[in-house]
Amino acid sequence: MLIAAIAALLSLPGTLVVTDEALEEINWVWKNKKIRWVEIQEIDTEKRGSAVTVIGSGRRKIVYTNVYPDRPRFLFEIKKHCGDDLPSNFPNQEMNSGSVI
Tell me the pLDDT band of 101, cut-offs 50, 70 and 90: very low
Q: Which helix (H) or strand (E) holds 3?
A: helix 2-11
Domains identified in the chain, total number: 1
95 falls within a domain: no
Q: Which CATH number belongs to the domain containing residue 8 in this structure?
A: 2.30.29.30
pLDDT in tens, 49-58: 678 889 998 8
For residue range 11-59, list pLDDT tens digits in order: 777 888 899 999 999 887 778 899 999 999 888 887 666 788 899 988 8
Question: In the beta sheet, which residues pair with residue 2?
Answer: none
- On whether residue 94 sits in a domain, the answer given is no
Give the contacts of 41 (CB within 8 A, at least 6 positions apart). 55, 56, 57
Whether this model's pTM surpasses 0.75: no
Domain that holds residue 39: 2-82
How many angstroms separate the CA atoms of 96 and 62, rounded?
21
Query: Are the C-beta atoms of 44 and 68 separated by less than 8 Å?
Result: no
Residues 6+ apart with CB under 8 A from 3: none
Within-domain flag for 91: no
